[in-house]
Amino acid sequence: MFNFQQDPFENFELGLAAATESGLLEPIAMQLATVGTRSTLPLPSVRTVLFKGIVRGGFSFYTNYESQKALEIAENPRASALFFWNQMEQQIRISGQVEKLTRAESENYFKTRPRISQLGAWASAQSQNLDSYETLEKKFQDTEQRYNGQEIPCPPQWGGYHLLPSSFEFWFGKTGRLHERYFYQRDSISSPWKKSMKFP
């Protein structure tokens, strides 16, 4: 049950637990928006990543450090994320600073991934041009042969981030578009949360 008086992280955990128990297909799906700075007209880009838990006060996710999102984060380490649970008519928006996880944290998580996903992390030059799908399949097969019967190490170009929130917004859909919006904001990671409501 949402409680406007408590910490937003606690409210997020309650919402995620309810979404998980409701049987939603992928409640940890998180839309991540980034903006690079290299272009003369920087445009936001958004994609879906999987939320992998709160790590040291931030929302963690993993990717190739040479992907588009990683390059944009390197240029501009600020991002926004969205959890949208349509069947529950709820969404949570989060914005803040993005930082890399430690190498040890990335390697420890990598060990928990299915072997096919570990192989894929080596085979895919994420976001780079690909001449054909057959090329990707060949790279995967070569990687599979390379590590046949061996433990697969975490690639140096692969690892995690965490998004350290400076704001949260909890949205609850209501009939007649009289939605409820609860907003939390803080000036720094160590600052107290300021709470407010917004018109829908």
Residues with active-site annotation: 177
CA 41 to CA 36: how far, in whole Å?
Answer: 10
Q: Phi and psi at residue 184, in whole multiples of 5°?
A: -125, 135
CA 181 to CA 184: how far, in whole Å?
Answer: 10
* Contact indicator for 10, 2 with CB cutoff of 8 Å: no
Tokens representing 47? 């994609």
Tell me, what DSSP letter sits at residue 125?
-
CA separation, residue 113 to residues 100, 137, 146, 152, 191 (Å): 19, 20, 18, 10, 35
For residue 75, give the 3-state DSSP assignment.
Answer: helix
* Contact indicator for 2, 15 with CB cutoff of 8 Å: yes
Buried b / exposed e over 162-195, threshold 16 CB at 10 Å, is bbbbbbbbbbeeeeeeeeeebbbbbeeeeeebee
